[in-house]
Amino acid sequence: MVSEYTFKCQVVIASGPAGVRGVCATMSAQLSSQSMRERILAAAIEVIRERGVTAATTKEIARVAQVAEGSLYNHFENKTALFGAAFMATATGIREAVQTIGARVGERSVEDNLAEWAAAAVRFYVDLLPMTGPVLANHDVLGWLQQNVFPQGGGPVQGHAALARYLRAEQEAGRLAAEAQPEFIAAALLGACQQYAFLSLLVGQAALTGSARLPADIDEYARQVVRTVLNPQLPAPRAT
Query: What SS3 string covers the chain?
Result: CCCHHHHHHHHCHHHCHHHHHHHHHHHHHHHHHCCHHHHHHHHHHHHHHHHHHHHCCHHHHHHHHCCCHHHHHHHCCCHHHHHHHHHHHCCHHHHHHHHHHHCCCCCCCHHHHHHHHHHHHHHHHHHHHHHHHHHHHCHHHHHHHHHHCHHHCCCHHHHHHHHHHHHHHHHHCCCCCCCCCHHHHHHHHHHHHHHHHHHHHHCHHHHHHCCCCCCCCHHHHHHHHHHHHHHHHCCCCCCC
Least confident among 5-9, 15-19, 69-73, 197-201: 5-9
Average pLDDT of the residues in 25-51: 71
Q: What is the pTM of this model?
A: 0.67
Domain ranges of the chain: 4-78, 90-233
Going by pLDDT thresholds of 50, 70 and 90, the confidence category of residue 141 is low
Please say if the pLDDT value at position 25 is more than 50.
no
Q: What is the pLDDT of residue 151?
A: 58
Q: What is the pLDDT of residue 207?
A: 83
Q: 4-78 belongs to which CATH class?
A: mainly alpha
Domain 90-233 matching CATH 1.10.600: the answer reads: no
